[in-house]
Structures are given as C-alpha cells and as structure tokens.
Amino acid sequence: MSAGSMPKGFVYLHDVDPSIQQDMRYAGSNNFTRRPVPGYDAAECVLVREAADALKAAQAELEPLGLSLKVYDCYRPTQAVAAFVEWSKEPDDPIAKLEHYPDLPKSALFPEYIATRSSHSRGATVDVTIAPLGSSPEASAGEDGVPCTSAQPSDNSLDMGTGFDCFDPKANTDSPDLTPEQQRNRKLLVDIMSRHGFKNYPKEIWHYTFEPEPHPDTYFDFPIRQRPADDTP
C-alpha cells in the first residue's frame, strides 16, 4: 500500500497506554544502519488497535511485578524495509558489525534475520522487551564496538542474553547459551506476550506478532509522523 496518512484502525501506542516505554531505535542512529531510517519521521510506536490493546493488557500484568514493557519497533513502513535491503549492499561498517552481527557475514542476515518483506509492515508486529518500571527507556551511551552478545545489556532492559537487533544464534529464543537469569527473563517475556495473543519469532527473542492479524496480506508504507499533541491542558 502506498504512502499517505495513517489508515483507519491504526493507533499511537502512547494514546492507548502511555506507561509502556518506547525506545524507537530506527527513528535515530542507534540501530544497525547507524543512521535514521526512511519512513521514521517520529519516534512513535504505531500499531493496529488490536495489537496495542493487547500490549496494554500485558502491561497491566507486568506492573504489579514492578516491570514494564519496552518497545523498540512497531509498524515499519515498506520504504524502511527497502532501505535495509540497500544497506545490505554497502561495505561493512566495522562498528555496526561488531555491535549487531559479530559472528555472521552481512550476506547471512537476509532473510534469516532481516526480511525483504517484513511482518512489521502489516501493523501487528512489535519488537519488545521488559524493563524495570519507572526506569529510563533510553539506551545508555555506552562505548562503540561492544558486541550485542556481551553479558550486560546496553540499556535499561532486563538481561535477555543479547541486545536488540543482535543478529546472532544467541538471540534465538531457545538458545542454550544463556545464564539461568537470562532464561527466566526470556520465559517471562514469552509467557506474558503469548497469554495476550502474540506469537514469537523463534530466531529473535524480542519479535512478536499479534494473531489473528487484521491485515495479514497488506504491507503498508505510510510514514510514521509525530503524534498530535494532547488537547487537554
């Protein structure tokens, strides 16, 4: 579907549940391309209403535990997916490689880790983790060149064994290369998301699709724009 305004049935997650943390990586340079990605004109999570409502229900289950969902990516315009494909043709950036695919060649990323047609473009897929309630959703500055497979998370998320967009077998949901704490954190995320209608993509612990999808065969390309300001004083 061509670019344009946000279609009916899509919502800003902030309008459904502002307590869910947002760290929208592709709207800035803290991602594997190391630059803002086309189509992300604002750092906003946009989803179909059904998926956003399901995240709100999952958040309500986490809050009594002192925890919060944190989203890295939601709806993804098809122009962003095309930009990822073009990025794959560029020479390796040594820092990006070390941070996001330390043990794989770029050629191995498609389609195992980066799809040429992404379920995110259908509006019901979200990249998500868990963080302490009330903590800052922003990634720490850290040091360039720290592998995503390192022991400590580079942001405020619970330790899942890898960072976000870590293109590595260790990011597989059932990876055996995990500590007991990392296994517990992953199980908590998978269990809560599955209870609220989300199916995990087994190669990425952070990747979930709400089912049944409202638009299973439609790939949207409207840009993500800034959420309108609240009218209330």
Average pLDDT, integer, range 201-212: 97
Question: What amino acid is encoded at 102 in this protein?
Answer: P
Q: Residue 128's beta-bridge partner residues?
A: 71
In three-state secondary structure terms, 162 is: coil
Distance between start and end Cα atoms, the chain:
37
Average pLDDT, integer, range 213-223: 97
Helix (H) or strand (E) holding 38: none
Give the pLDDT confidence score for residue 89 in this predicted structure.
87
Average pLDDT, integer, range 198-202: 97
Give the pLDDT confidence score for residue 141 in this predicted structure.
45
pLDDT-derived band of residue 65, with 50, 70 and 90 as boundaries?
A: very high
Q: Which residues of 102-136 are buried (b: 16+ CB within 10 A; e: fewer)?
A: beeebeebeeebbbeebbbbbbbbbbbbbbebeee
Nearest alpha carbon to residue 193 among 46, 18, 57, 25: 57
pLDDT tens for residues 163-199? 999 999 999 999 999 999 999 999 999 999 999 999 9
How high does pLDDT run on average in the chain? 92
Give the pLDDT confidence score for residue 139 in this predicted structure.
56
Q: Residue 102's beta-bridge partner residues?
A: none
CB 207 within 8 A of CB 200: yes
pLDDT-derived band of residue 151, with 50, 70 and 90 as boundaries?
A: low
pLDDT tens for residues 76-131? 999 999 999 999 889 999 999 999 999 888 888 887 788 889 999 999 999 999 99
Q: Over 80: is that where the pLDDT of 2 sits?
A: no
Question: What amino acid is encoded at 124 in this protein?
Answer: A
Q: How far apart are CA 60 and CA 23, in angstroms?
A: 19
Verify whether residue 204 is a known catalytic residue. Answer: yes
125-132 and 207-210 as β-strands: parallel, antiparallel, unpaired?
antiparallel
> What is the torsional sign of CA 103, 106, 142, 65?
negative
In three-state secondary structure terms, 78 is: helix
Average pLDDT, integer, range 12-19: 98
Q: How far apart are CA 125 and CA 146, in angstroms?
A: 28
Q: Over 60: is that where the pLDDT of 66 sits?
A: yes
pLDDT over 70, % of the chain = 93
Structural domains for the chain: 10-210 (3.30.1380.10)
Q: How far apart are CA 122 and CA 74, in angstroms?
A: 10
The burial of 22, by beta-carbon neighbours within 10 Å (0-12 exposed, 13-18 middle, 19 or more buried), is given as buried
The active-site residue out of 44, 50, 99, 204 is 204
